[in-house]
């Protein structure tokens, strides 16, 4: 009886130790890569690409290279991400619900549009003090 109890305890400890860390569906890592295009459909170098997961991860950012390409690595697999690009006076719509699978590279194109006029409520002269 005692030997069986020790064996069960050891087996449970092994299972507990090996299952620590990320849940099974998040153990693989994934990548999102893409291209940021300006309003003129030309690649935008050095644009900021902001991304966050639907699971509540704080927003992070990467920048495009000289050809307007970006790569976001080490993303949790089977998670959903929202992405947005921005540059000087231009931004993209949010690309929502981008799902990445284990070991997969998802490709996205973000198109920048001109920023609209800033609402008067947010201008310095009308700011509440």
Sign of CA pseudo-dihedral 18, 22, 23, 29: negative
Predicted pLDDT at 69: 98
CA dist., res. 57 & res. 124, Å (int) = 31
Domain residues for 37? 24-116
Distance of CA 13 to the CA centre of its chain: 34
Residue 121 maps to a domain: no
Residue 8 maps to a domain: no
CA dist., res. 50 & res. 110, Å (int) = 11
Residue 102 maps to a domain: yes
Predicted pLDDT at 121: 52
pLDDT digits (tens, 9 = 90+) for 22-51: 444 445 789 999 999 999 999 999 999 999
Predicted pLDDT at 19: 41
Sign of CA pseudo-dihedral 12, 13, 14, 20: positive
Residue 103 maps to a domain: yes
Residue 1 maps to a domain: no
Q: How far apart are the first and last CA of the chain?
A: 75
Residue 14 maps to a domain: no
How many separate domains does the chain show?
A: 1
pLDDT mean for each 10 residues of the chain (129 residues): 54 44 56 96 96 86 97 91 93 93 94 72 50
CA dist., res. 105 & res. 61, Å (int) = 18
Residue 16 maps to a domain: no
Nearest to 30 by CA among 63, 62, 73: 73
Residue 46 maps to a domain: yes
User: What are φ and ψ of residue 56, in 5° steps?
Assistant: 100, 10
Predicted pLDDT at 17: 40
Predicted pLDDT at 58: 85
Predicted pLDDT at 36: 97
CATH of the domain at 89: 2.60.40.1120
């Amino acid at each position: 009886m005692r030997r069986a109890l020790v064996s069960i305890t050891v087996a449970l400890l092994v299972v507990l130790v090996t299952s620590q860390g990320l849940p099974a569906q998040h153990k693989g890592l994934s990548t999102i890569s893409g291209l940021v295009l300006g309003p003129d459909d030309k690649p935008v170098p050095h644009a900021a690409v902001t991304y966050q997961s639907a699971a509540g991860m704080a927003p992070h950012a990467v920048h495009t290279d000289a050809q307007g390409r970006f790569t976001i690595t080490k993303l949790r697999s089977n998670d959903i991400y929202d992405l947005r690009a921005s540059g000087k006076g231009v931004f993209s719509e949010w690309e929502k619900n981008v799902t990445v699978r284990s070991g997969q590279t998802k490709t996205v194109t973000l198109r920048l549009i001109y920023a609209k006029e800033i609402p008067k409520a947010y201008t310095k002269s009308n700011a509440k003090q």
